[in-house]
A and B are shown apart, each in its own frame.
Chain A
């Protein structure tokens, strides 16, 4: 079992749709949970991070962490073509850090 599982997609949605991106993980020591957005041929850009369980909202983006299920999500409301990118989940804790392989998202006008 991989330490972090993330569906690679690709995921294609129409503009304005709600997008749900998810990761599962196996290491219960993870405490920090992050989402990165990576445009083609660019470095990952930190989008959101949360500590432990709970929700965090920033504009059209909401990050959710359920530590009991070892499951994290990123929701994008009112998706825009500019949201088209690869989204990476990441988590760290107990001297370890892991990344998901990334989900490729395309938002069509």
Chain B
């Protein structure tokens, strides 16, 4: 079974803090993704990575950065957390399949609250 794990299930931070969210997958997937999920807005892609040290901006990259130093690990960084970044953050991974992102497998999510 594919396993995607995220470092925290719940996190509470203060405005202006630097926040690190970490994701690890054990299936040797090339692709890794960070999404945020908000009621009524669905899943929105923040960043994705198709290889070590490679990254591409998604639909809403502002206020976020990412790091992928090892194939199995993908980190999301909030440089200076703000209250509008309170959300559920989901990590996913997949194989690159025939020119598509293939089927993505998700982690359990991190519910981040910024006060």
Q: Indicate whether B90 reaches chain A with its CB closer than 8 angstroms.
A: yes
Q: Indicate whether B47 reaches chain A with its CB closer than 8 angstroms.
A: no
- Contact partners of B63 in chain A: CB under 8 A: none
> A107 CB to closest chain B CB, in angstroms?
21
Contact check, B106 vs A95: say whether CB atoms are below 8 A apart.
no
B88-108 near A? 1/0 per residue, CB < 8 Å: 001000000111111111111
Measured as residues with beta carbon below 8 angstroms from the partner, the interface class of chain A is 20 to 34
The residues in A between 54 and 74 inclusive whose CB is less than 8 angstroms from any CB of B are none
Measured as residues with beta carbon below 8 angstroms from the partner, the interface class of chain B is 20 to 34
Q: A93-B100, A94-B99, A95-B99 are in contact. Are A36 and B106 (CB under 8 A)?
A: yes
Partner of B104, one of A41, A46, A94, A95: A46
Contact check, B90 vs A97: say whether CB atoms are below 8 A apart.
no
> B6 CB to closest chain A CB, in angstroms?
8
Contact check, A101 vs B99: say whether CB atoms are below 8 A apart.
no
Between-chain CB contacts (< 8 Å), 21 pairs = A8-B40, A31-B98, A31-B100, A32-B97, A32-B102, A42-B108, A42-B109, A43-B4, A43-B107, A44-B90, A44-B106, A46-B104, A46-B106, A92-B100, A93-B100, A94-B99, A95-B101, A97-B100, A97-B104, A100-B42, A101-B40
Interface residues, chain B, CB within 8 Å of chain A? Answer: 4, 40-43, 45, 90, 97-109, 111
